[in-house]
Structure 1
Amino acid sequence: MSIVRIALAALRVPANPEESVRLATAAIADAGRAGALVVCFPECYVPGYRWPGVPVPPPDAAFLARAMDEVAQAAQRANITVILGTERVTERGLQISACVIDADGRIAGWQDKGQLDPGEEPTYPASGAERHLFTAGPLTFGVVICHEGWRYPETVRWAARRGAQVVFHPHFGIAEPGSYRPIAFADPANTFHEKAVLCRAAENTCWVASVNCASDGAPTASAIARPDGTLLSFQPYGEEGLLLADIELDEATRLLATRCRTVP
């Protein structure tokens, strides 16, 4: 058996970019003390997700570089691999991404968001095309970001077919005015999104770990789905903290992903 501990950082929505870095580095330290091998943050946690219609500071490449350095140092101190939801300024424009930082503080790579929600396109004009796998000790994992994980099953299958036992799913969602406010995970009265997490796990026979910010009335919770499509655990809605789980990697047989003949 190969059991590893993972952590999902279900933190409050940061008030500003500086606070996002402070909260992230504190959570990295906490996850390291808790014995986690990997900690994953929500979508664009640093410097903060640019919610349509909400004024935010313009993209700042210099700030992002300093933030990555601080987070990398925190990862090294805590001896933990970090999946940081962030953004980066590229020649094609502003891009939603996840930076994977090894436990020695080196950047292992980036997973750019390959499928944008239509509402994001005016703010984040660039989208990625390449997908990547990453490792941390015995764990092989992939990253799919928000919309592409909900609506594009092939993104999760790509990673599972190539050896990922866990696919991390950083996302961002806050309550809309008058929206249903769930109490139980995958409540039938809620949207399809949490049910999609369970489907992505079951249809690929892999673990799926989905992380959102903690906010009042959030439509989706941070949660971990087993390879059989059942729920292992979820963070109570609106409750800030680390969701920790010990997962058995051998349960991720990836059988159904590898039997699929429609994906290259």
Structure 2
Amino acid sequence: MKIGLAQTRFPKSASEGLDTVKQMIHQTSHDHCDLICFPESIIPGLRGVGYKVDEYNHSFQISALEKICSLAKQTKTAIIIPMEWQDELGFHIVAFVINNNGEILGYQTKNQIAPDEDFFGYVPGDGRYIFEINNVKFGIVICHEGFRYPETVRWAAMRGASIVFHPQYTGHVDNSEFFNQAMVCRSLENDIYFASVNYALENQKSTSSLISPSGERLIVGQQNTQELLVYDIDTKLATRLLAKRFKPDLLS
């Protein structure tokens, strides 16, 4: 399965975020990728990290999602598109999954909200889901979840996921090795691929990365560089051995 990790500039508006998504999808199609994943809340942008972000506009979000679905069908590319989304339960950070026929398979909510995100009224979700594209099962964990709640990744690995996608935002941090090594841990402790997709940011020390089931950094994004990282993963290498040997009953 050939995947693309879209390390994009932070959008100046929801409209610019959508334009960037369209541009990257076309590039992914040119590179013959099966699936592309974007950073956390690429439309309209992530709140609370130092950038001006448009007010939430549900009509725009619906329209943007429809346009992305149409482009998925046109380019025959599956897409993981992280967005803000309002539903009957409240205001969420989510990642929609769209197949290469333009059909929405569902979305994964961010269930573990970071403490500094409490101020924006986000409601954590309460479910985790496995998705499947081209006979490859995968999970999604969003930023804070993947770094500080390893259970979220193991949940997916125990249910057949060969790869877990990790849309995120990590800017300038003093302890960048924590973030870099956490990605490696999520792969090694489950014997799966871990695909972390960050923004292209100034002074960042942790960028987008694809980690192999053996903990090797297969591709790593450049700092402050908008780029599409492409890799053809071999899902047979994702044995999930350690995840399958986990005994959850010992925790009860």
TM-score bracket relative to the smaller structure:
over 0.9
Identity across the alignment (%): 36
Shift in Å, 1:50: 1.1
CA distance in 2, matches of 1:32, 1:150: 30
1:115 matches 2:101? no
Deviations 1:80-130 (A, max 9, x none): 110001110123331000000111111110000010100001114201111
Contact map agreement 2:12 2:53 (CA 8 A) in 1? no
1:64 matches 2:34? no
Report the equivalent of 1:139: 136
1:27-46 aligned within 5 A: 27-46=24-43
Shift in Å, 1:41: 0.3
More helix by share: 2
Deviations 1:60-94 (A, max 9, x none): 11010000011111111110110001110123331
Report the equivalent of 1:190: 176
How does the TM-score come out when normalised to structure 2?
0.95
Point out where structure 1 has 5 or more consecutive residues left out of the alignment.
181-188
Shift in Å, 1:54: 4.7
Contact map agreement 2:46 2:53 (CA 8 A) in 1? no
Contact map agreement 2:138 2:161 (CA 8 A) in 1? yes
CA distance in 1, matches of 2:220, 2:158: 26
How does the TM-score come out when normalised to structure 1?
0.91
Report the equivalent of 2:212: 226
Deviations 1:4-41 (A, max 9, x none): 21100001111111000011011111101111111000
Report the equivalent of 2:3: 6
Amino acid at match of 1:211: V
CA distance in 1, matches of 2:45, 2:233: 29
Point out where structure 2 has 5 or more consecutive residues left out of the alignment.
none
Deviations 1:152-191 (A, max 9, x none): 011000111111101000001222xxx55xxxxxxxx634
Contact map agreement 2:82 2:167 (CA 8 A) in 1? yes
Report the equivalent of 1:183: none
Report the equivalent of 2:15: 18
Report the equivalent of 1:51: 48
CA distance in 1, matches of 2:107, 2:135: 20
CA distance in 2, matches of 1:56, 1:22: 15
1:244 aligns with one of 225, 230, 240: 230
What is the SS of the residue equivalent to 2:169? coil
CA distance in 2, matches of 1:24, 1:53: 21
Amino acid at match of 2:237: E
Deviates more, 1:195-204 or 1:27-36: 27-36
Aligned residue pair count = 250
**Cα 1:46–1:262 shift into 2, 3 Å:** same
CA distance in 2, matches of 1:220, 1:167: 18
Report the equivalent of 1:94: 91
